[in-house]
């Protein structure tokens, strides 16, 4: 989807909110010679985040705000990740050669048909993953409900950050692993999601 | 590798492009407007300059016409004056020829008229010159020579008068040349 790759990073922090701590990671350097500029973490009280879902929004906001102020990161742009269990992903076949708007309509129709109970609406994105067939394209549709994303959005914004990207944790992890394998960077396991999110700096 | 952003980035991208397009159109319109204002202003300025120049030329033509008219008027006045002077001079000479005087020669040379003659007395000559200057103050009469006749109060004289018409014509020619 985001084909344009930047050689110089846009300042974008990878923010990973896990059960035990919040992690912020920032990269710098060119696409080929990137390095970690900043990596900070702050512990969270038990029960604030359970299974990747924020249960105590105020506590998480306070912790994040303290972390942001301490590191002078107010109004920084961040990329966050939703846990895999909070998003729906489907592979759909669509007619080949649809325009952008036609594809958009197709995705919306599919979402409404697949989830008639969701009233508020969706956050969603899609990308063509396979266009090798003659008549059809395979599209990966990722979606989540407003309810799943509203809390993380409000927590991050109340802490003084600006959300620029909402990713999915296992996609961020895959991306991080791929880059680590390619570049040979030594990075602790726990930082990988935030690293994968920070890699968005080099994309649109 | 899957890169997905669940935020409505497509909508934001559309809005951003629309803003860029609007911004571009505003800049284009501003430049066009500025160009039009400048162009029109310049044209107006040129027209005003042309009009002003035309007015000045008209004024110049009027003034030069008035000047020429004044010169012609003054020339006519001078010619009239000269004619009057000439008539008066003739009348004057006629009147004094009847008195006790004798004109032996009236000679014209260049712009001068030379008068030779005799009078009864020197006082008569001075009176004659005075009267002449009273009647004609533009052409001076100069007494060049006075001699007394032996055993008599009579005198012989030689006076010179600048020829009026010639002098006046030369003055008119000078005026025309300077104008």
Domains of chain B: 72-178 (3.30.1360.100)
Closest-CA distance of chain A to residue B14, Å: 12
Contact A127 B9 (CB under 8 A): no
Mean pLDDT over residues A131-145, rounded? 91
Distance CA B171, CA B79 (A): 11
Average pLDDT, chain B: 81
Q: What is the pLDDT of residues B22-57, one digit of tens each?
A: 999 999 999 999 999 999 999 999 999 999 999 999
Closest-CA distance of chain A to residue B42, Å: 47
Q: What is the pLDDT of residue B95?
A: 65
Average pLDDT, chain A: 88
Contact B7 A164 (CB under 8 A): yes
Distance CA B9, CA A200 (A): 14
Contact A168 B5 (CB under 8 A): no
Mean pLDDT over residues A65-85, rounded? 93
CATH topology of domain A85-145: Dna Ligase; domain 1 (3.30.1490)
Nearest CA in chain A to B13: A204
Strand intervals (E) in chain A: 13-17, 21-29, 34-43, 49-50, 53-54, 77-82, 88-95, 122-130, 136-145, 162-168
* B5 has a pLDDT exceeding 60: yes
* Burial bucket for residue A155 (CB in 10 Å: 0-12, 13-18, 19+): buried
- Residues in B closer than 8 angstroms to A142, CB to CB, are 4, 6
Q: Which of residues 78-97 of B touch A (CB under 8 A)?
A: none
Q: What is the pLDDT of residue A124?
A: 92
Least-confidence region, from A23-32, A152-161, B94-103, B129-138 = B94-103
CA distances from A86 to A82, A146, A164, B151 (A): 7, 11, 19, 163
Pick from A10, A18, A6: nearest CA to A173: A18
* B89 has a pLDDT exceeding 70: no
> Two tokens at B21?
């397009």
- Residue given tokens 């594809």 in the structure block: A103
Q: What is the pLDDT of residue B56?
A: 94
Q: What is the pLDDT of residue A48?
A: 93
Closest to B6 (Cβ–Cβ): which among A144, A175, A200? A144
Q: Do domains A13-83+147-202 and A85-145 have the same CATH topology?
A: no
- Mutation pick from B4, B11, B16, B17 vs chain A, by most beta carbons of A within 10 Å, is B4
Q: What is the pLDDT of residue B151?
A: 81
Sign for the pseudo-dihedral over CA of B28, B34, B35, B40 = positive
* A3 has a pLDDT exceeding 50: no
Domain ranges of chain A: 13-83+147-202, 85-145
Distance CA B164, CA B138 (A): 8
Distance CA A85, CA A91 (A): 17
Secondary element (H or E) of residue A153:
helix A146-158
Q: What is the pLDDT of residue B96?
A: 62
Q: What is the pLDDT of residue A52?
A: 84
Contact A140 B4 (CB under 8 A): yes
More confident residue, A203 or B67: B67
Sign for the pseudo-dihedral over CA of B71, B73, B79, B82 = negative
* Burial bucket for residue B67 (CB in 10 Å: 0-12, 13-18, 19+): exposed
Q: What is the pLDDT of residue A67?
A: 94
> Two tokens at A125?
């994105």
Q: What is the pLDDT of residue B141?
A: 83
Q: What residues contact residue A94 under an 8 Å CB cut-off, 6+ apart?
A: A103, A106, A136, A137, A139
Q: What is the pLDDT of residue B160?
A: 87
More confident residue, A194 or B78: A194
CA distances from A135 to A132, A139, B100 (A): 9, 13, 148
Specify whether the CB–CB gap between A167 and B4 falls below 8 A.
yes
* A70 has a pLDDT exceeding 90: yes
pTM for this model (two decimals): 0.60
Contact A164 B4 (CB under 8 A): no
Contact A142 B4 (CB under 8 A): yes
* A29 has a pLDDT exceeding 90: no
* A174 has a pLDDT exceeding 50: yes
CATH topology of domain A13-83+147-202: Nucleotidyltransferase; domain 5 (3.30.420)
- Confidence category of residue B126, pLDDT binned at 50, 70, 90: confident
Q: What is the pLDDT of residues B155-170, one digit of tens each?
A: 898 988 876 554 444 5
Local structure of A120: helix, strand or coil: coil
- Mutation pick from B1, B3, B10, B11 vs chain A, by most beta carbons of A within 10 Å, is B3
Phi/psi for A51 (5° steps) reads 55, 40
Q: What is the pLDDT of residue B51?
A: 94
ipTM for the predicted complex? 0.87
| CA dihedral of residues B24, B26, B27, B28 (deg, nearest 10) | 80
Q: What is the pLDDT of residue B111?
A: 74
Q: What is the pLDDT of residue A119?
A: 66
- Residues in B closer than 8 angstroms to A125, CB to CB, are 4-6, 9
A125 Cβ under 8 Å from any chain B Cβ: yes
Secondary element (H or E) of residue B106:
strand B101-109
More confident residue, B74 or A4: B74
* B83 has a pLDDT exceeding 70: yes
Whole-number percent of chain B with pLDDT over 90: 30
Q: Which of residues 30-69 of A touch B (CB under 8 A)?
A: none
Distance CA A149, CA B7 (A): 10
- Mutation pick from A79, A111, A125 vs chain B, by most beta carbons of B within 10 Å, is A125
């Amino acid at each position: 989807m985001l084909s344009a790759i930047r050689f110089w990073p846009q300042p974008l922090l990878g923010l990973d909110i896990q059960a035990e701590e919040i992690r912020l990671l920032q990269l710098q350097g060119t696409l080929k010679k990137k390095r970690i500029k900043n990596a900070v973490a702050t512990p969270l009280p038990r029960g604030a985040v359970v299974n990747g879902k924020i249960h105590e929004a105020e506590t998480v906001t306070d912790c994040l705000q303290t972390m942001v102020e301490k590191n002078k990161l107010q109004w920084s742009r961040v990329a966050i990740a939703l846990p895999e269990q909070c998003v729906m992903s489907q592979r759909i076949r669509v007619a080949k050669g649809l325009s952008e708007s036609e594809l958009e309509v197709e995705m919306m129709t599919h979402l409404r048909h697949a989830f008639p109970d969701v009233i508020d609406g969706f956050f969603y994105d899609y990308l063509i993953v396979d266009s090798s067939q003659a008549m059809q394209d395979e599209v990966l549709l990722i979606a989540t409900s407003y309810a799943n994303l509203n809390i993380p959005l409000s927590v991050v914004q109340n802490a003084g950050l600006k959300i620029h990207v909402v990713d999915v944790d296992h996609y961020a992890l895959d991306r991080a692993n791929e880059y680590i394998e390619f570049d040979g960077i030594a990075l602790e396991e726990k930082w990988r999601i935030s690293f994968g999110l920070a890699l968005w700096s080099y994309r649109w | 590798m899957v890169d997905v952003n669940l935020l409505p980035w497509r909508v934001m991208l559309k809005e951003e492009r629309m803003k860029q397009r609007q911004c571009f159109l505003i800049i284009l319109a501003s430049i066009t407007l500025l160009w039009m204002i400048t162009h029109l202003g310049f044209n107006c300025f040129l027209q005003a300059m042309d009009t002003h120049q035309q007015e000045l030329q008209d004024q110049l033509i009027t003034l030069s016409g008035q000047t020429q008219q004044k010169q012609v008027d003054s020339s006519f006045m001078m010619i009239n004056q000269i004619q009057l002077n000439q008539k008066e001079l003739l009348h004057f000479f006629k009147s004094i020829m009847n008195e006790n005087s004798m004109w032996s020669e009236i000679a014209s040379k260049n712009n001068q008229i030379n008068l030779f003659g005799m009078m009864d007395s020197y006082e008569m000559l001075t009176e004659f010159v005075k009267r002449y200057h009273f009647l004609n103050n533009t052409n001076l009469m100069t007494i060049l020579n006075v001699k007394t006749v032996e055993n008599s109060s009579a005198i012989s004289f030689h006076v010179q008068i600048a020829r009026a018409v010639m002098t006046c014509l030369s003055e008119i020619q000078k005026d025309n040349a300077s104008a």
